A = this chain, B = another copy of it.
Amino acid sequence: MRPNRLIELRRSNQTIINGWLTIPSPLTAELMAHEDFDSLLVDMQHGLIGFDTAVSMLQAISTTNTVPLIRVQWNDPGLLMRALDAGAYGVICPMISTRQQAEAFVSACRYPPLGSRSYGPARALIYGGDDYVQQANDTVLTIALIETKEAIENLEEIASVEGLSGLYVGPSDLSFSLGLAKRADFDDPRLIAATDHVLEVAAKYNLLTGVQAGNVENAIRQAARGFNMVTPLTDITVLQMRSRELVAQTRNGVKA
């Protein structure tokens, strides 16, 4: 089976730079796959990407060595299994707040006897190789989004679920849930405390840690704090923010 480069990167203590795709387009997915990301995530929760498009985006990413990930819409076994059958080498599952939710998530992603994933690897077999089913449980990443107060409180119970690969902090929802004044303010002591707790628990249970950093500076900062995987940007924000800057410059220039 094609190895999962994210596992190798983590083993060698290299920070994983992940990109976040929310534009429903295989073309932009392929373009991003030619930039220097280690992995690219197709966001099927808040990105407006239907299933047919997501499959084509995974194919587009697979034209390179960039590792393809999916964030599913919800902790639902049908959705999780489809994401993996489509060839995602890791799934990020939103709103994991309890051990029971984490167990259901992991079970849907692992073949028996470890879990209850149904057999039918479809494109995963094409992408991963003929021994996909034998190796998938050890290769495919299951990453829980930690984004509620409840999740922070139940963190050890979540982290100790067998077969879970990692914890990924969603700072916007977590800020909401903690009742913080600002969303995703990484200088807020309560967010720092919560993320410190994630790092500690993950270390104890040998889990990968990730974080939605929001920008380059914070991605570097969070990597320095110990997060293995950082996401400095989403495609749609880059497109929007950069276009806004360039149009404003042109607008001002032509008026001058």
> Residue A152 at the B interface, CB < 8 A?
no
Q: How many copies does the complex hold?
A: 6
- In the complex formed, the residue of B with least CB distance to A177 is B112
Q: Which of A33-41, A156-164, A188-196, A198-206 contacts B (4 or more CB under 8 A)?
A: A33-41
With a cutoff of 8 Å between Cβ atoms, the chain B residues found around residue A19 in the complex are 243, 247
With a cutoff of 8 Å between Cβ atoms, the chain B residues found around residue A62 in the complex are 63
Find A24's partner among B52, B63, B173 (CB 8 Å cutoff): B52
Find A120's partner among B46, B63, B81, B127 (CB 8 Å cutoff): B46
A85, B27: Cβ atoms under 8 Å? no
With a cutoff of 8 Å between Cβ atoms, the chain B residues found around residue A50 in the complex are 50-52, 55
With a cutoff of 8 Å between Cβ atoms, the chain B residues found around residue A254 in the complex are 15, 17, 219-220, 223-224, 230
A79, B79: Cβ atoms under 8 Å? no
Whole-angstrom distance between the Cβ of A111 and the nearest chain B Cβ: 7
- In the complex formed, the residue of B with least CB distance to A183 is B119
Most chain B C-beta atoms within 10 Å of own C-beta, residue among A19, A37, A53, A60 = A60
- In the complex formed, the residue of B with least CB distance to A244 is B35
Q: In the assembly, what is the distance between CA of A241 and CA of B239, in Å? A: 10
How many residues on chain A are close to B (CB under 8 Å)? 95
Q: In the assembly, what is the distance between CA of A224 and CA of B179, in Å? A: 45
> Residue A1 at the B interface, CB < 8 A?
no
With a cutoff of 8 Å between Cβ atoms, the chain B residues found around residue A253 in the complex are 216-217, 219-220, 223
- In the complex formed, the residue of B with least CB distance to A62 is B63
* 22 A-B pairs (CB sep. < 8 Å): A23-B28, A24-B25, A25-B25, A26-B59, A28-B236, A30-B126, A35-B247, A45-B78, A45-B81, A46-B118, A46-B120, A73-B82, A76-B78, A77-B95, A112-B179, A122-B236, A133-B183, A219-B253, A230-B250, A230-B254, A238-B238, A238-B242
9 cross-chain pairs, A with B, having the tightest CB-CB distances, nearest first: A46-B120, A74-B78, A220-B253, A50-B52, A73-B78, A119-B172, A50-B51, A15-B254, A242-B242
